[in-house]
Structure 1
């Protein structure tokens, strides 16, 4: 893991050090061709923006021994490891157990994860079944990765970040964990939300992105019961430029007669 003494900018005038990552895509459905992966390109592009270079990628099956072996191999070779897939509620979702075994730690229900999921299913009217409780099993010593979309969290243990395989969920998890990463430059983030559909703002949002190529603008739909909307997440290294883009994003939403809010919706 990068430390403070060796972090980019730790020495005045020093060139940013090379920070490397490996992406591990876990799932029989990818290897069989049933699912076409889009996570690798998204993760690589996202990390590149913050000075983290993806130097290696693996696609491996839902086999515990394979997961353990690969994770221990690549986490020793790279600053960061990012995994996708295998943390859902079904019997073949074995990634969390395999990661715990790779680190030699026990796994069990995480109090915060249990509370998040219990609240989510109570509010949405779903039953918090034993299968769904599996998604709250986290290796001992791991910290949670927030999932604003479907709530079931990912987790970080050591330099390994474990995320969902569903692209939309993976993307919001990646946004959530980004502040923990050290790269060639500090990536900052601003969020503006509004009760408006992505399709309505897509054209103007595309034009906004073209005007500000140094800021990465992401669009993420959200649902709160019968209420839906879109969160615009802006990422960049220049705080002043982010403020400018966030102001334009808010004006964009306001131009459709919708009052924007700073940050994620309540």
Structure 2
């Protein structure tokens, strides 16, 4: 299963808010064996949201969109997703009933709070108010981290793939000097190798078989100068 993550918000693009949602979602999905193919941030503009969601839903198994939910003027994510899917925005009876059952009267709710793309499955917000939605492999979650995490947990079982295993070997050598051993470990074992230089070089070995990854890491450690 491959997934694209779209985070929405002018604050994210301006650097005033750290995009912790994308990092957290990527970690959760990777642990479930899901491949993250894209992480994209777009502004609070219906057209931008619609264009990216429409492109990604054609390319990937699922698209997760976070941020921009609610009834305020800059909460336009639902409208953008609706436009991408060719749906109208409608007040969702199930979302409204859930909100009322959880202590929110219609009089208290701001107009538009329960509006979702027509035909969407509402995702209830156990940690807040604004509901999310799922429709045609597109999942729309809140931007508030606490709310986003709680809502994702309710749909986590809908994301699965082949589990991968990862081990890191830290080498105290220049990256250029390691090229021959990186090539050899890739040839000898069914693993991928990522090389991340800094004060030392982190060699990340990944594969779908835990024993193979462990054997590759052992082989490599015996042939590089490791950090004490």
Task: Name the TM-score class by shorter chain.
Answer: 0.5 to 0.7
Which of residues 94, 100, 118 is equivalent to 1:140? 118
**8 A contact 1:155–1:162 mirrored in 2:** yes
Match of 1:128 in 2: 108
Query: Could you tell me how far apart the structure 2 residues matched to 1:87 and 1:62 are?
Result: 10
1:76 and 2:58 aligned: yes
Query: Could you tell me how far apart the structure 2 residues matched to 1:120 and 1:152 are?
Result: 12
Moved beyond 6 Å, runs of 4+: none
Match of 1:207 in 2: none
- SS of equivalent to 2:112: helix
Instruction: Report the RMSD for the aligned CA atoms in angstroms.
Output: 1.8
Match of 1:109 in 2: 91
- TM-aligned CA deviation for residue 74 of structure 1: 0.9
- SS of equivalent to 1:25: strand
**8 A contact 2:29–2:159 mirrored in 1:** no
**8 A contact 1:62–1:92 mirrored in 2:** yes
Q: How many residues align?
A: 163
Q: 1:72 to 1:32 in 2, by over 3 A?
A: same
Greater shift, 144-153 or 87-96, is seen at 144-153
- TM-aligned CA deviation for residue 171 of structure 1: 0.4
Match of 1:98 in 2: 80
Query: Could you tell me how far apart the structure 2 residues matched to 1:78 and 1:172 are?
Result: 24
Q: What runs of 5+ residues in structure 1 fail to find an aligned partner?
A: 1-18, 186-266
- SS of equivalent to 1:81: strand
- TM-aligned CA deviation for residue 147 of structure 1: 2.1
1:168 and 2:150 aligned: no
Larger radius of gyration: 2
Query: Could you tell me how far apart the structure 2 residues matched to 1:150 and 1:85 are?
Result: 13
- TM-aligned CA deviation for residue 151 of structure 1: 4.3
1:29 and 2:11 aligned: yes
**8 A contact 1:116–1:152 mirrored in 2:** no
- SS of equivalent to 1:161: strand
- TM-aligned CA deviation for residue 89 of structure 1: 2.1
- SS of equivalent to 1:155: strand
Q: Deviations over 1:32-74 (max 9, x none)?
A: 1221110011000100111111111101101111111111111
- SS of equivalent to 1:44: helix
Q: What runs of 5+ residues in structure 2 fail to find an aligned partner?
A: 164-228
Q: 1:48 to 1:137 in 2, by over 3 A?
A: same
- SS of equivalent to 1:33: coil
Q: Normalized against structure 2, the TM-score is what?
A: 0.67
Query: Could you tell me how far apart the structure 2 residues matched to 1:156 and 1:39 are?
Result: 18
Match of 1:60 in 2: 42
Q: Normalized against structure 1, the TM-score is what?
A: 0.58
